[in-house]
Every structure is written in structure tokens, then in C-alpha cells.
Amino acid sequence: MRGIQILDFSMNNISGSIPKCLNNLTNLAVRGSSRLAITHTYNVTSIHFYDYYDDEASLIWKGVTSKYKSTLGLAKSIHLSSNRLTREIPSKITDLVGLVSLNLSRNNLTGQITPAIRKSALLQSLDLSSNQMYGRIPSSLLQIYGLGRLDLSNNLSRKIPMGTQLQSYDPSDFAWNPLLCGIPLQQLCSPKETSPDEQPVFRDQEKDGLITSGFYVSLALGFVVGFWRVCGSLIFIRSWRYIYYKFLNCVYNWLYVKIALFRRRRMIDG
């Protein structure tokens, strides 16, 4: 079945391991599709008159059942959730670079998330929840920029990789991982696992890394130098002091005239 693009065996009683030959589904190993709609032709008369129709399929997408027809060519999905699958996820599954949805949740899968997951750059939904997977979350997951739905509720550990993506997910997407730490979870990582520039900052923390003792010293020196550079010049240089006072006097007179004219105009208009 090299042309298959939607493989859905979810909610059955399938046991055993995931076949390693999934990479033979060559249609899933191609990015995108040359046609948005999938059209079939058929013979309607004995004189070889052909007609056609557009195929359609219903998919569970981000928890909602949706029907695809005009964009069915882009819907490339593997859905094997709610079975009794065991062992590790085959590494060859990452060769299916055209996948936009991969759901292996609610099984008994073990092993670690392979760093080669970065090859599935078109993934928009990845659900590996409710399995027995362990180890760390690979930093290569940050390279899947369009990943909108993610659920890794397993037995994962160590620090969540820092980036502009994983920290935007809800903490529930990393639930049931008691040894997992880092943003967006409230569980802080140990100093050995977190560098100074990756220290999590939560809303109840008001400490700013820029406010240090050196900052206060620089602020005090800047104030003293700036103050005496201006005021000291006026105190010790008589000509500057006369010019400064003359300038203030001119500004005062200008403001006084403007205010007087404005009040007089208001009285005349009133």
C-alpha cells in the first residue's frame, strides 16, 4: 500500500510492536502533495464514458473530528492510539517526512524519543501520551516549527529544552512526568541541569538579573559625575552662571507673557 496517506487503526485491540516497514509507505515519505483534492474516475456506460468524484475522509484532528475533501491531499496521518502496542517506536518512522499528524497515545510503548524526530518537520500534531516512554525530551524537537499540538505525558525526565516553542505549551502537555523539570512546569531544575541564562522566571518572581551591585555603583557614579559637571560649572565659572540665569529669566518672561495673553483672550471671548 505504497500510496496510502491515512493509516488509522486506533481504538482496536492490536498487540505486538509497530512494524518496522512503515517507511515503505512511500506516499508518507514525500513532503506535501501535487494535488490538494484526490480525484477518482470510473466507467459509467458501456461506451467507455468516464466520470469522476473527489475522495473525502474524516480525521480526528486536535481532539475534534473533521472532514477533509478539498485539502485531503495534504492530510497525511498515522493514528494507532488506544491499542496494546509494545516495545519501542521504530526509528524508520522518522523517514515519513510528509506526516502532519502522528498519534501513538494510549499504548504500552517504551524507549526514548529519538533525536531524529527533527526530520518530521511538517508535523503539526504529535501525541505520545499515556505510554511508558522514558528519558529526556530531545532538543531536536525545537526544529519542528509548525507543531501546534503536543502531548508527551509519559515517564520522561530531566530538563525541558529551552527555546521559543516548548515553553509556550500548557503544563498539562507534560503531565505525568514526575522527573521532568523546567518551563512551563513549576518544578525547577537543579543547578547542574540549568545554566544561568536558562534560569526559569515565574510570575511571582520579581528579581531582575540586570539589577546587580555593579548596576547601583554605575548609577551612583553617573549621577555624581553628571550633577557636578553641570552644577560645578555654574558655581566656579562666573560667565556661565550669568548666561544660565539670563536664560532662565528670558524663559520666565516668555511664559509670563504667553499666560497673560491667554488669560486675556479667554476673558474677551467669555
Residue 206, pLDDT above cutoff 50: no
- The span from the CA of 14 to the CA of 107, in Å, is 10
- The span from the CA of 110 to the CA of 153, in Å, is 13
What integer pLDDT is reported at residue 37 of this predicted model?
A: 76
Residue with cell 541564562: 197
| Domain regions of the chain by residue span | 6-32+76-198, 213-269
Helix (H, G, I), strand (E, B) or coil at 19: coil
Residue 197, pLDDT above cutoff 50: no
pLDDT digits (tens, 9 = 90+) for 45-86: 666 677 777 778 877 766 677 787 777 878 889 999 999 999
Residue 12, pLDDT above cutoff 90: yes
Q: Measured between alpha carbons, how far is residue 156 from residues 106, 128, 131, 178 in Å?
A: 15, 11, 10, 8
Helix (H, G, I), strand (E, B) or coil at 140: helix
Name the DSSP letter for residue 47. Answer: T
- The span from the CA of 90 to the CA of 184, in Å, is 29
Residue 152 grid cell: 508527551
**Contact in structure between 72 and 96 (CB atoms under 8 Å):** no
pLDDT higher at 32 or 140 = 140
6-32+76-198 placed in CATH 3.80.10.10: yes
42 - beta bridge partners?
51
Residue 210, pLDDT above cutoff 60: no
Whether the full predicted model's pTM is greater than 0.85, yes or no, is no
CA 86 from centre of chain: 30
In which band, very low, low, confident or very high, does the pLDDT at 5 lie, cut at 50, 70 and 90? confident
- The span from the CA of 59 to the CA of 67, in Å, is 6
